[in-house]
């Protein structure tokens, strides 16, 4: 860390406002258990805040090496992996997805109905790789709670990654469900990046976890990033909380029994990674 944030164009006083704001409005009132805020420029960390606890039940404080579930911040990493293959000339962004994933060849667009009986129409064009990368694929998430299509995702457990589930199995399930809209005609946050992860596997011939480890994490020195927390590092793994009745924190995922601490078979490119603040900084600076 430089002697003064001012050396890299920052104001020490203004950076300190981050700490005061997070403590006064989030950690202090108990809206969140704890947090980190890291600010860097040109590879130099100019501010790193550690507030509160990573595990309230065990009174473990927040530390620099705390391991977090990074959820959708997995998406930039999986997307980068696919674009590395693009740079190698392995596919074109305009390629139809069904070129690599045949289960997507006959996708229909929702017209009416409920799971498992839907009326569909043919899409205006095939879904492309570009559609997946820009969330214009017509796919969705079950937690959207808006349409009969995302209700079908919930019925099929699309958002639930159980032991033994795989990306290949996800593709087969999605191939039997309708799209929300014709690819390229609208935007919708979705499981598109999980499909991106499967494309990485199919195009490279390598499981997604291994591809990320060998091509991104190892070269960047991201030692604490992966789809599972090693047993020797579980004490560093943060508990995950949600807000329950009365806006009180409720333990949602205990690090001692978390699925991230077991054997992982579903490598979610959309939200499956764990990492640390310093590891993710290495990725952001690549």
- Where on the phi/psi map is residue 77: left (φ > 0), alpha (ψ -120 to 50), or beta? alpha
Residues linked to residue 253 through DSSP beta bridges, in sequence order: 240
DSSP conformational letter for 238: P
Half-sphere exposure of 280 (CA within 13 A, CB side): 23
Cα–Cα nearest to 237, from 220, 260, 217? 260
Catalytic residue among 12, 53, 72, 258: 72
Calpha distance 76→193 (Å, rounded): 9
Q: Are 57 and 251 in contact (CB under 8 A)?
A: yes
Helices 167-174 + 192-204 axis angle, to 10: 120
> What is the Cα–Cα distance from 114 to 96, expressed in whole angstroms?
27
Backbone angles phi, psi at 259, to 5 degrees: -65, -20
State how far the Cα of 190 lies from the Cα of 57, in Å rounded to an integer. 33
Spatial contact of 37 and 49, defined as CB atoms under 8 Å apart: yes
Q: Is 72 a catalytic residue?
A: yes
Q: Can you say whether the dihedral through the CA atoms of 146, 185, 99, 109 is positive or negative?
A: positive
List residues with catalytic annotation: 72
């Amino acid at each position: 860390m430089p002697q003064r944030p001012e050396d890299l164009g920052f104001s020490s006083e203004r950076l300190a406002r981050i700490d005061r704001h997070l403590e006064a409005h989030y950690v202090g009132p108990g809206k969140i258990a704890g947090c980190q805020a890291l600010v860097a420029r040109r590879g130099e960390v100019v501010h790193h805040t550690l507030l509160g606890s990573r595990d309230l039940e065990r009174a473990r404080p927040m530390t620099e090496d705390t391991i977090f579930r990074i959820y959708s911040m997995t998406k930039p990493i999986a997307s980068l992996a696919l674009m590395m293959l693009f740079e190698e000339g392995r596919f074109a962004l305009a390629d139809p997805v069904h070129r690599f994933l045949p289960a997507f060849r006959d996708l229909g667009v929702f017209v009416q109905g409920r799971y498992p009986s839907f009326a569909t129409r043919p899409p205006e064009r095939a879904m492309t790789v570009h559609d997946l990368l820009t969330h214009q694929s017509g796919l969705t998430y079950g937690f959207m709670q808006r349409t009969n299509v995302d209700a079908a995702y919930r019925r099929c457990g699309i958002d639930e990654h159980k032991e033994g589930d795989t990306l290949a199995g996800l593709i087969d399930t999605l191939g039997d469900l309708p799209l929300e809209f014709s690819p390229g005609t609208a935007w919708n946050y979705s499981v598109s990046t999980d499909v991106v992860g499967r494309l990485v596997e199919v195009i490279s011939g390598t499981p997604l976890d291994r591809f990320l480890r060998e091509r991104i994490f190892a070269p960047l020195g991201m030692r604490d990033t992966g789809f599972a927390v090693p047993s020797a590092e579980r004490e560093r793994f943060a508990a995950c909380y949600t807000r329950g009745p009365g806006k009180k924190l409720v333990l949602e995922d205990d690090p001692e029994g978390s699925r991230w601490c077991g054997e992982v078979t579903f490598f979610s490119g959309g939200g499956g990674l764990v990492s640390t603040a310093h590891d993710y900084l290495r990725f952001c600076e690549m």
